[in-house]
C-alpha cells in the first residue's frame, strides 16, 4: 500500500504549518509509521528542525527534483531525520525560490512534478507530509496535486479566517483540473487562545462554517520550543507536553481515516 500523502496548507504565514507538520511527523513515528516529510517552503525551516544533521547549502534538495534543468530523483536528495523511521526531502539556500519562479513560466505538466517524483518512493512510507509555503503559488499547487488530502492550519482570528475562502477556491480548482480525489482531511485551529473573548468568538465562527478537528491546538510555547530543539513533545519532559503529544496522536488518527 502506498503512503497517505497530506499537504499542510494555508497561504497565510505565521499560523504554525511547519510546527504542525513536525509534531504530526513525530506522531507518525510514535505510531510505528515510516514517515517522509517534504519541505516545500523556501524558508527551509522544516529541514532545519527535522534533519538529523545540518544540510549544507550546496546539497541537492527538493528544488533539484522539481526543476526541469536538474531532474534529480527524489531518492537522491533524501536525508535522515532526527528519529529512526523519518526521512526528509530538504530545502536549502535560495534554490527553491528560484524553482518556484521557474514553474511560473513552465509548460504543461508543471503541476504534477512533485506527484511524479513521489511515485517511485511512495511504497517505502506509510505517511508523507508536505509542508507548503505561505502562498498559493506553483509550489502549493504541486503539493495539492500530489496529495490525497489537505490539512488546513488556521487560527481563531479574523485575518486567518478570511484567507480560507481563497484556499478553498484553489483546492476546488485542483480537484476539477488535476486531482479529483483530493479531499480536505481536516481544518486544524492552531495557537488558540481559549481564555479570550475574541478567540472563542472566532472559533465558534469557524465551527459554524466548516468541520474543524477537535480540540483546537492551544497557544503553548512548548510546541515551538520542542520543534526548535528537534525533540518530540513526548521527549520534552513535562506533563503538559505529554498531553499535547497524545493530542497530536489523535489528530494523525483523524487525518489518516479521512484519506483512507
pLDDT in tens, 180-222: 999 999 999 987 877 676 667 778 877 877 788 999 999 899 9
Q: Report whether pLDDT(1) > 60.
A: no
Query: pLDDT at position 254, please?
Result: 96
pLDDT band at residue 107 using 50, 70 and 90 as cut-offs: confident
The whole-angstrom separation of Cα 260 and Cα 258 is: 6
The whole-angstrom separation of Cα 4 and Cα 64 is: 24
Domain count along the chain: 1
Query: pLDDT at position 158, please?
Result: 66
Which of 16-25, 41-50, 71-80, 201-210 has the weakest average pLDDT?
A: 201-210
pLDDT in tens, 45-66: 999 999 999 999 999 999 999 9
Q: Which structural domain, as residue segments, surrounds residue 122?
A: 4-259
The whole-angstrom separation of Cα 102 and Cα 97 is: 9
What is the average pLDDT score of the chain? 92
- 3-class DSSP string for the chain: CCCEEEEEECCCCCCCHHHHHHHHHHHHHHCCCCEEEEECCCCCHHHHHHECCCCCCCCCCHHHHHCCCCCCCHHHCCEEECCCCEEEECCCCCHHHHHHHHHHHCCCCHHHHHHHHHCCCHHHCCEEEEECCCCCCHHHHHHHHHCCEEEEEEECCHHHHHHHHHHHHHHHHHHHHCCCCCEEEEEEEECECCCCHHHHHHHHHHHHHCCECCCCCECCHHHHHHHHCCCCHHHHCCHHHHHHHHHHHHHHHHHHHHHC
Share of residues in the chain with pLDDT > 90 (%): 75
Read off the CATH number of the domain in which 141 is found: 3.40.50.300
Query: pLDDT at position 119, please?
Result: 96
What distances in angstroms separate CA 121 from CA 72, 138, 222, one per listed residue?
A: 13, 22, 33
pLDDT band at residue 176 using 50, 70 and 90 as cut-offs: very high
Q: At what angle do helices 17-30 and 221-228 cross, to 10 degrees?
A: 70
Query: pLDDT at position 203, please?
Result: 81
Cell of 52: 538529523
Q: Report whether pLDDT(169) > 80.
A: yes
Query: pLDDT at position 184, please?
Result: 94
pLDDT in tens, 220-253: 999 999 999 999 999 998 999 999 999 999 999 9
Backbone angles phi, psi at 41, to 5 degrees: -100, 120
The whole-angstrom separation of Cα 156 and Cα 219 is: 11
pLDDT band at residue 22 using 50, 70 and 90 as cut-offs: very high
Would you say 50 and 81 are in contact if contact means Cβ atoms under 8 Å apart?
Answer: yes
Amino acid at each position: 500500500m502506498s503512503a497517505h500523502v497530506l499537504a499542510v496548507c494555508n497561504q497565510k504565514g505565521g499560523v504554525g504549518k511547519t510546527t504542525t507538520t513536525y509534531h504530526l511527523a513525530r506522531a507518525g513515528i510514535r505510531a510505528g509509521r515510516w514517515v517522509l516529510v517534504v519541505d516545500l517552503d523556501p524558508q527551509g525551516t522544516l529541514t532545519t528542525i527535522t534533519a538529523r544533521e545540518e544540510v549544507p547549502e550546496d546539497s541537492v534538495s527538493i528544488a533539484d527534483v522539481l526543476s526541469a534543468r536538474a531532474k534529480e530523483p527524489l531518492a537522491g536528495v533524501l536525508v535522515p531525520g532526527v528519529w529512526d523511521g523519518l526521512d526528509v526531502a530538504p530545502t536549502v539556500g535560495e534554490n527553491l525560490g528560484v524553482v518556484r519562479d521557474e514553474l511560473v513560466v513552465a509548460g504543461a505538466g508543471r503541476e504534477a512534478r512533485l506527484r511524479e517524483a513521489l511515485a517511485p518512493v511512495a511504497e517505502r512510507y506509510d505517511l508523507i507530509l508536505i509542508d507548503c509555503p505561505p502562498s498559493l503559488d506553483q509550489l502549493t499547487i504541486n503539493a495539492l496535486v500530489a496529495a490525497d488530502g489537505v490539512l488546513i492550519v488556521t487560527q481563531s482570528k479574523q485575518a486567518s479566517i478570511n484567507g480560507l475562502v481563497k484556499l478553498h477556491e484553489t483546492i476546488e480548482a485542483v480537484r476539477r483540473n488535476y486531482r479529483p480525489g483530493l479531499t480536505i482531511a481536516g481544518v486544524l485551529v492552531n495557537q488558540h487562545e481559549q481564555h479570550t473573548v475574541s478567540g472563542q468568538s472566532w472559533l465558534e465562527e469557524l465551527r459554524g462554517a466548516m468541520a474543524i478537528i477537535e480540540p483546537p491546538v492551544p497557544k503553548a510555547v512548548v510546541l515551538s520550543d520542542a520543534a526548535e530543539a528537534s525533540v518530540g513533545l513526548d521527549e520534552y519532559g513535562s506533563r503538559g507536553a505529554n498531553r499535547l503529544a497524545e493530542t497530536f496522536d489523535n489528530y494523525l488518527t483523524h487525518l489518516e481515516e479521512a484519506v483512507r
